[in-house]
Amino acid sequence: MAFSFRGRSINKVGVIGSGQIGPDIALHFVKVLHGFDASVVVVDIALDALEKGKSKLFKKIDKGGQTGAFKPDEVEGMKNHVLFTSDYNKLKGVDLVVEAATEDLPLKKRIFRQVEELVSKDTILTSNSSHLEPERIFDELKLKGRSLCTHYFFPAERNPAIEIIPGKDTNRETTEFMMRFYEKIGKIPIKVGSRYGYAVDPVFEGLLLACVQCVDAGLGDTKQIDYVASKALGLTVGPFTAHNLTGGNPITAHGLSEMHESLNAWFRVPDRLKQLLESKSDWVVPGRGEKIEVSSEQEKQISEELMGAYFAIVCDMLDAEIITTSDFDLLISVALDMKPPFSFMNSVGVKKAFELVENFANKYPPMPVSKKLKEQAASGNPWEILDVLFEKQGDVGIISIRRPKALNALNSKVFKELNTYCDVIRNDSGIKAAVITGFGNKAFVAGADIKEMAGLTDPTQGEHFARIGQIASAELEKLGKPVVAALNGFALGGGCELAMCCTARVAPKGMKFFAGQPEVNLGLIPGMGGTQRLPRLVGFARASEMIRTAKPISSTQALQFGLINEEVEGDVLERAIALAQDIAHGRLTPKPMEMGPVPNSPDELPDVDIGHLSRAIDALAVRAILEGGKMTLEDGLKNEARLFGQCWTTEDNRIGLKNFIEKGAKSKAEFVHR
């Protein structure tokens, strides 16, 4: 079975360069593609680099085998699908090339001249450059439309962030394909405009410079600055330590000197970095667990200076319009695992952030003061950071929930943003139908946000939370235009409930763990319509079993039960768009949801074994299902929200939510049935 996606097959991937990052990139591809019998070829002219790269990659595979991350047949399968070679001819037949050679423009150009002669005209050519604009790397290609930059982050096989940088000649189809392809194989691709250093490296490298400036200004030594930087910016390790660990000093020096020319003259190679490189030494950094003494005044000064630098650098990129606030926050939090810049500014106050930038720019000219930051501070509003994205494709509006770190869980912010887009769709006469989907390849939506619900304290708050979710999701039902749910991954709890508000639902074929109402595991009942719409869609017996036992069902069962309309072999989003158009243009009419009381609704439910689950919560679930069957959908929802709130009168509610927060989803709560 080949890996086919959006009209392209990926049977063979070429990775050029077996140095620092090439083998890690190859490992990610072989991990996700070997099951489709797709192979990965790593090419390098240096035999010792090939040897080292292969040994590093195989060691990581073996380690995965030992820890249980990979099954024994996967270990073998992965090793059998990767080839390390010095023979460029082995690139013949590749569908995708990722060049990961040294950051050297003439070298990269030479490689692509050679590669273009070997591959077909449809092969996509990408460079894992960390700085160079695609227009410069690919300017000698005959077919430039299929080329772009793809910037991975350390460690490339595990860090999901990836910057996608199309050049002025890259065609839209290539960019769109690469964005969706990386999402499909588990990455978090973020599109960034073509500019030297893209979005992340001016932050990573600029913060090292800002730290050196703090040392030069006598605010502390490298250990103290590193310690305060990690604390102030929410980094796992400070910039000096990060540079030591990644061997990043030479490339940062090169990047800073280029940014001096291409971005602004604040960027420069500080003398301390030059000396460090000449003496081939590392930064002096705190040892593991070492206690670093810093006075509170010193800590304040260092923190404010670094925040000024951080905010100045990111806002300058906003002015350059290469990235949005929402994308930048997600990218930085995933790629560098540090405080996302715009949320960070919101938390300290945008006005305060502006003052910090002004102070920094006055102290270190010619750092520019961002126009957009100035305007935002003057507006008195926080930055807008969206967790729900919207785009139009022809006459279809596409809503996408993007909270990858919480598996797209629904919180109050998401509900608000969903409402906004429902209004957009309703009021745009050019939009005839809509599709709702989740970001990534794992979850459509993993439910209502459990961390937010754990902060609720009484039945009134519980009921209110449920009503907000019910009303936001019912907007889809009442839109007056068809909405198809493209269930790109599992749909649990509020996710399944959101999907049930849609006109139709499609899911990937063969998902074993697909949909369910797992609320009872948490000492809750479904609160976004699960007890009302699920019986109306799949019947009372099946619905009550799913709700009362929390057992998930497969996509095949979902189709048999009538929960989804189709299982899809290819891309669910593409299929959902086509289906939405068919419904909008009258070519198909899915069965509508029963809005009145359910004819012949039962007075009691079949027995089910609820095992360790709470009998107190089960009683509320049974009431919501049975009482709701005899009501209109509208009244049933209100009743469900009230009973959802009643969960907060039980001890088991506290036990279930606390168990998830403290021990995670896999741990079983010890309910007391009260």
Closest separation in Å from C-beta 453 to ligand CAA: 7
Consecutive H or E run containing 582: helix 572-584
Distance CA 585, CA 202 (A): 48
Contact segment (CB under 6 A) with ligand CAA among 66-74, 118-126, 302-310, 525-533 equals 525-533
Q: Is 491 in the site for ligand CAA (CB under 6 A)?
A: no
| 174/362 Cα distance (integer angstroms) | 43
Per CB under 6 A, the list member of 201, 205, 449, 475 interacting with ligand CAA is 449
Among 53, 518, 628, 636, binds ligand CAA (CB under 6 A): 518
Residue whose structure tokens are 């310690």: 227
Q: Who's near 498: CB < 8 A, 6+ residues apart? A: 410, 436, 445, 473, 476, 485, 491, 528
User: Where does this chain touch ligand CAA (CB under 6 A) — which range of 66-74, 239-247, 321-329, 442-450?
Assistant: 442-450
Q: C-beta of 593: minimal distance to ligand CAA in Å?
A: 17
469 near ligand CAA, rule: CB under 6 A: yes
DSSP conformation class of 217: T
SS3 at position 358: helix
Q: How many CB atoms lie within 10 A of CB 7?
A: 10
With respect to ligand CAA, which residue has the nearer C-beta, 178 or 616? 616
User: How many angstroms separate the CA atoms of 227 and 299, rounded?
Assistant: 9
Q: CB-based burial of residue 56 (10 Å sphere; 0-12 exposed, 13-18 middle, 19+ buried)?
A: middle
Stretch that binds ligand CAA, among 278-286, 358-366, 428-436, 517-525 (CB under 6 A): 517-525
Eight-state DSSP code of residue 384:
P
Please state, in angstroms and rounded to a whole number, the distance separating the CA atoms of residues 315 and 338.
16
Contact positions with ligand CAA (CB under 6 A) in 151-190: none
**Active-site choice (99, 116, 183, 497):** 497
Nearest distance from residue 670's CB to ligand CAA, in Å?
A: 17
Strand ranges in 323-473 using DSSP code E only, listed in sequence order? 388-393, 396-401, 433-438, 443-445
| The one among 497, 545, 571, 574 contacting ligand CAA by CB under 6 A | 497
- 522 touches ligand CAA (CB under 6 A): yes
The owner of tokens 């919560």 is 617
- 3-state SS of 24-42 is HHHHHHHHHHHHHCCEEEE
Q: Helix, strand, or coil here: 576?
A: helix
Residue from the set 16, 528, 580, 643 that interacts with ligand CAA by CB under 6 A = 528
302 lines the binding site for ligand CAA (CB under 6 A)? no
Residue 627 annotated in active site:
no
Which spans in 480-529 are helix H? 494-500
Q: Among residues 13, 335, 418, 450, which is the contact residue for ligand CAA, using CB under 6 A?
A: 450
Among 158, 451, 478, 615, which residue interacts with ligand CAA (rule: CB under 6 A)? 451
Among 134, 286, 527, 656, binds ligand CAA (CB under 6 A): 527
In the complex, what is the shortest distance from the CB of residue 494 to ligand CAA, in angstroms, rounded to a whole number? 3
Q: Please report whether residue 309 would count as binding ligand CAA according to CB under 6 A.
A: no
Residues binding ligand CAA: what is the number (CB under 6 A)? 26
Q: What distance in Å separates the CA atoms of residue 421 and residue 539, rounded to the nearest whole number?
A: 31
Single out the segment in contact with ligand CAA by CB under 6 A; choices: 123-131, 253-261, 527-535, 570-578. Answer: 527-535
Nearer CB in complex with ligand CAA: 526/628: 526
Residue in 188, 225, 484, 524 binding ligand CAA, rule: CB under 6 A: 524
- From 449, 439, 446, select the one nearest 469 (Cα to Cα): 449
Active site residue 477: no
Instruction: Please identify which of the residues 157, 205, 519, 574 carries the catalytic annotation.
Output: 519
Q: Are 635 and 611 in contact (CB under 8 A)?
A: no
As a whole number of angstroms, the distance between CA 356 and CA 367 comes to 12
Residues 391-430 that bind ligand CAA (CB under 6 A): 406-407, 409
| Residue 628 binds ligand CAA (CB under 6 A) | no
* Distance between CA atoms of residues 427 and 430, nearest Å: 9
Residue by residue, DSSP assigns 452-487 as HHTT--SHHHHHHHHHHHHHHHHHHHTSSS-EEEE-
Residues 88 and 115: beta-carbon distance below 8 Å: yes
CA pair distance 115, 81, nearest whole angstrom: 21
446 binds ligand CAA (CB under 6 A): yes
CB of 160 to ligand CAA, least distance (A): 12
Q: How far is the CB of 490 from ligand CAA (least distance, A)?
A: 6
Distance of closest approach, residue 654 Cβ to ligand CAA, in angstroms: 15
Site for ligand CAA in 53-92 (CB under 6 A): none
Length of the chain: 674
Does 493 sit near ligand CAA (CB under 6 A)?
yes
Interaction residues for ligand CAA, span 634-673 (CB under 6 A) = 664-665
Catalytic residues: 497, 519
Q: Where on the chain is the footprint of ligand CAA (CB under 6 A)?
A: 406-407, 409, 446-451, 466, 469, 492-494, 497, 518-519, 521-522, 524, 526-528, 530, 664-665
